[in-house]
Amino acid sequence: MTQPILQLGRADLWEEVHNTVYRSSGFVGRRPIPIPHAFVPLTFTNFVSAVWCSSPFAEDRKWQRGCKVSQVTPIGASIAGRNGAITETRIISQGIPTLLAFSQYTNEYSLRLDFYPWYQEIQVMVYQYNGVVSDTTTESLRNIQTSLNVIAQRLP
């Protein structure tokens, strides 16, 4: 099985594509009305992204979970009026940048954000990795081809 080769440490290969504060629409008694799920308004073509979330109301509490991020992959069938299916979901810890490397079912996907019901406000930032993604098989084949080219040049 191949492993992806990424250059995650290069700041120029990351782009902030979403930075939004989501708010509850009010309260029922002392509890906030849950923030409805949202979609990041972008179609992703690279399977690597990073997400960070934080709430100003969580400092005095021990809330660790920030939100859930789901990969939504387009499918040909319309099921219950939707043309996409959730293929993977990850829990994002509050205040900790989280690297997401989703499966490559198709060439594009979208992200769905789901929020825990106790938040009355939460900020979510999404970064897209724009670097070249190669894999160990591709790199091995390139090395073999280079070696064959060197040998071919030495032949009479």
Q: What DSSP line would sit under 29-46, residue for residue? A: TTEEPPPPPEE-SS-B-S
Instruction: Please give the C-alpha separations between residue 64 and each of 39, 43, 53, in angstroms, as whole numbers.
Output: 22, 28, 11
| Domain layout of the chain by residue ranges | 13-154
Q: What is the CATH number of domain 13-154?
A: 2.60.120.1300
Predicted TM-score (pTM) of this structure = 0.78
Bridge partners, residue 50, by sequence: 99, 127
Going by pLDDT thresholds of 50, 70 and 90, the confidence category of residue 61 is: low
- Chain centroid to Cα 149, Å, comes to 39
Pairing type for strands 110-115 and 27-28 reads unpaired
Going by pLDDT thresholds of 50, 70 and 90, the confidence category of residue 148 is: low
- Per-residue pLDDT tens for 26-53? 888 888 899 999 999 999 988 889 999 9
The confidence score (pLDDT) of residue 67 equals 94
Q: Of 114, 23, 102, 128, which Cα lies nearest the Cα of 69?
A: 114
